[in-house]
A and B are shown apart, each in its own frame.
Chain A
Amino acid sequence: MEVSMPQKRYYRQRAHSNPMAHHSFENPVCPEEMDWSQLYPDFFTEGVSDKEMSRVEFADIGCGYGGLLVELSPLFPDKLMLGMEIRVKVSDYVQDRIKSLRASQPGSYQNIACIRSNAMKFLPNFFFKGQGLVYTITDVEEVHVWMVKHFTEHPLFTRVPDEELVDDIIPGRLGSCTEEGKKVQRNGGQNFLAIFRRIDDPNQD
């Protein structure tokens, strides 16, 4: 086999990387100029016009070792997913992991990819403006309270109540398929979930 699964022990990196520091990234200048075919070769065939191109619909901001991407990939095989990770070693691990999965299961995992970037600064460089949902999860209650507070106070977001999430298969998996999630489960901790929807500006005249 050409591509073997990467071993996490060679890709360990401390959890915190300062997003305000000036790292060097290779970002597209704007979404129009992003070449997605490098990340999702099976989805972008030559000769297909820009309008017909698939678009990334799921973004995992701070994807870590890629657990969520790998879990969701077979569940939404037609949706493109992108993981963004700021740490050098960790993003490389995910890229190697995806390469290896694609090689060992031809046809699968073609819809996931990972890039190394600082989402806090460069998200607009990759993605056009859009509507959608934000899924947040943490095992630290204070962080959950902080996120809920800021999203709730932000006029462009509204919290999605649990009743509306009955048919959504994502929430149930968020806490169990990532490294952090598994650690929390092992330690008998609790996960705090909060989901928000982007809405139009209520103050717009």
Chain B
Amino acid sequence: MLKRAYRQTAMAAAIGFCGDWCLLSCGSKLLAVHSKQSRDSYVFDCSIAEKKAKTAKDDSDSNKGASEDTKSDDILAFTVSPSGKLVALADNCKRVVLFHCEHSWKCVSIRFVVRKCTALVFTNAEDELLVADKSGDVYSFSVVEPQREGELKMGQLSMLLNITLSLDDNYIITADCEGKIRVSHRRSPYNIQSFCLGHNEFVTALLVPLAGCQFLLSGSGDGTVKLWDIESGCRLHSCDLNIFKETETKLNEKPTVCRIISSPDGSHIGVLCSRVPTIQFLTLQLMVKDKLVPHSVLTLPHCPLDIAFDSEGKLWVMMDCSDKMFNVYTHKDGEWQCNAQSLEVSRITEAFNPVWETVETSTRTKLWFEHLHKRSYDNVAMYMQKKEQRLKEQQLKRAKLQRTNNNKKARKETSMKEDQSSSSTRKPDDWQKE
């Protein structure tokens, strides 16, 4: 069964699994720790990776603004291939790095993109890596030829936030900051199959569930998770996560969905919202009318930074807490039970702590998409106000002019009558008639 549980999107810290390797990204470092065996961890630090060879154009550009050297090399996103043999990451310095990790870790290639990327995904055939960027474009990087330059596949105006593929690799699915989800033919991406329209805010999370591969799950800044039919773009169901919110949290803030994950067997779908200390679980029941059914809520001691399922179906929760970074849960007897002390957790925590400590607090908890919420400022209102004023003034002017004209007219009429009366001979009786 294909494992599509590993989609990643740009976060300051993220967790994922690659076979038995636990992957952690934090700042500019990608750390891989073996969860079962005491093997050496693998670390890839983007800040010491090769930089793009400077061209004459780069030199003239760098004269204009801040030097490229001061930009952070933070990892923006990473992804794991369905088989777990490949990993790719995109960083803030526009690198796309490909790794092989079947028996041991190897950085296979470092390639460069034109714009910063927000998400990446491997095809199910594992021959291509698709990358979505901030300018709305999708590039394809060959896996088979790891040094080959990226090729532009498709583009649009709005910034892309996430990308995924249908399980048969027929469709590329992209989500943007305006709330649109576009389904394009992978072999001819200029051909748009459908749009999944319904979210009111930016869409951050995408997942094609294993239980129903013709469907798509999406999560948004509007606080909902929606279920779609990929080919038609038809919205099948919407689940409002506001109903799960604890009463303590502010009622007027919509929970922003950050991540939707699926257990390897597809039976559990977990939803993570920013700054909310719970994980909402949903189940997909295709035979039921409201196919997306809320299942349970797992309350956590702290707001999680990220969540992931490992290959055995255990739920890992990463939290910004120096005492306890990771909580691991197993689904037993109808509920999520926390594995209090586990060798896996201690091994991974031990390997990760030194890396975590080197990253500044602000970076660790940054949520880069929060500024994407729609601005409430309305530039039309100001124009309409001015227009109202102008129309009122014009009305007053017209009314004033009308009065002046009437007065003039009245005076003119009176004087005309006077002229007439004075020019003709009148008998005293005629005066009285007027």
Chain A interface residues toward B at CB < 8 A:
10, 19-20, 22-24, 29-31, 88-89, 92, 116, 120-122, 124-125, 129, 154-156, 201, 203-205
- Residues of chain A lying within 8 A (CB to CB) of residue B198: 29-30
Interface pairs (8), CB distance under 8 Å: A24-B380, A120-B157, A124-B180, A125-B180, A129-B192, A155-B191, A204-B185, A205-B187
Cβ of B106 under 8 Å from chain A: no
Q: Which residues from B are CB-within-8-Å of A204?
A: 185, 188, 191
Which residues of chain B in 282-309 are interfacial with respect to chain A, using CB atoms and an 8 Å cutoff? none
Across the interface, name the chain A residue whose C-beta is closest to B383.
Answer: A88
Closest approach, in angstroms, between the C-beta of B230 and any C-beta of chain A?
15
Mask of B371-407 contacts with A, CB within 8 angstroms, 1/0: 0001111111001100100100000000000000000
CA distance A22 to B201 in the complex (A): 13
In the bound complex, do residue A29 and residue B200 qualify as a contact, i.e. CB atoms below 8 Å apart? Answer: yes
A107 to B178 CA separation, bound complex (whole angstroms): 38
Question: Considering only CB atoms, which chain A residue lies closest to B387 in the complex?
Answer: A92
Rounded to whole angstroms, the CA-CA distance of A122 and B182 in the bound complex is 12
B390 — nearest CB in chain A belongs to which residue?
Answer: A10
Binding site for A on B (CB under 8 A): 157-158, 178-180, 185, 187-188, 190-192, 194-195, 197-200, 235, 374-380, 383-384, 387, 390
Task: Assess whether A24 is in contact with B377, with CB atoms less than 8 Å apart.
Answer: yes
Q: Give chain B nearest CB distance to A94 CB in angstroms.
A: 14
Known: A20-B157, A30-B197, A124-B195. A155 touches B379 (CB 8 A): no
Asked if residues B158 and A24 are in contact (CB atoms below 8 Å), the reply is no
Q: Are A203 and B390 in contact (CB under 8 A)?
A: no
Contact residue among A10, A23, A121, A154 (Cβ-Cβ distance under 8 Å from B158) = A121
CA distance A121 to B32 in the complex (A): 40
Structural contact, A116 and B380, CB atoms closer than 8 A: yes
Expressed in whole angstroms, the Cα–Cα distance for A20 and B158 within the complex equals 8
Q: Would you list the 9 A-B pairs with minimal beta carbon distance, nearest first? A: A30-B197, A124-B195, A203-B188, A201-B191, A120-B157, A88-B383, A24-B378, A121-B157, A121-B158
* Closest chain B CB from A173 CB (angstroms): 30
Asked if residues B185 and A201 are in contact (CB atoms below 8 Å), the reply is yes
Instruction: Evaluate whether A89 and B375 lie within 8 angstroms (CB atoms) in the complex, with A19-B157, A29-B197, A203-B187 already known.
Output: no
Q: Are B190 and A155 in contact (CB under 8 A)?
A: yes
Question: Contacts of A120 on B, CB cut-off 8 Å?
Answer: 157
CA distance A204 to B378 in the complex (A): 43
Closest Cβ of chain B to A150, distance in Å, is: 11
Q: How far does the alpha carbon of A26 sit from the alpha carbon of B184 in the complex, in Å?
A: 26
Query: Given the complex, which residues of A lie within 8 Å of B380, measured CB to CB?
Result: 24, 88, 116
How far is B382's CA from A92's CA once the two chains are assembled, in angstroms?
A: 13
Q: How far is the CB of A98 from chain B (nearest CB, A)?
A: 16
**A122 vs B179: C-alpha distance in the bound complex, in angstroms?**
10
Bound CA span A92–B390, Å:
14
A204, B190: Cα distance in complex, Å: 11
Q: How far is A116 from B188 in the complex, measured between Cα atoms in Å?
A: 32
Q: How far is the CA of A148 from the CA of B225 in the complex (A)?
A: 41
Task: Give the residue name and chain of the A residue nearest to B135 (CB).
Answer: A20
Chain B residue numbers with a CB within 8 Å of A154 are 190
* B182 to A, closest residue via Cβ: A124
Smallest beta-carbon distance B200→chain A, Å: 6
Q: Would you give the shortest CB distance from A131 to chain B, in whole angstroms?
A: 13
Closest chain B residue to A20, Cβ basis: B157
Contact partners of B387 in chain A: CB under 8 A: 10, 92
A56 to B180: give the CA distance in the assembly, Å.
Answer: 22
Residues of A within 8 A of B180 (CB): 124-125
Q: Which residues of A contact B375 (CB under 8 A)?
A: 22, 24
B379 touches A24 (CB 8 A): yes
Residues in B whose Cβ lies below 8 Å from that of A31 = 197
CA distance A7 to B383 in the complex (A): 16
Bound Cα distance from A204 to B390, whole angstroms: 57
Please report the C-alpha to C-alpha distance between residue A10 and residue B387 in the assembled complex, in whole angstroms: 9
Complex CA gap A20/B157 in Å reads: 7
Docked Cα-Cα span, A10 to B394, in Å, equals 12
Residues in A with CB closer than 8 Å to B191 are: 155-156, 201, 203-204
Q: Nearest residue in A to B192 (C-beta to C-beta)?
A: A129
Known: A24-B378, A203-B187. 8 other contacts (CB 8 A): A23-B379, A24-B376, A24-B377, A30-B197, A92-B383, A156-B191, A203-B191, A204-B185
Report the bound CA distance from A156 to B192 in whole Å: 10
Cα(A154)–Cα(B192), bound, Å: 13
Residues of A close to B377: CB separation below 8 A: 24
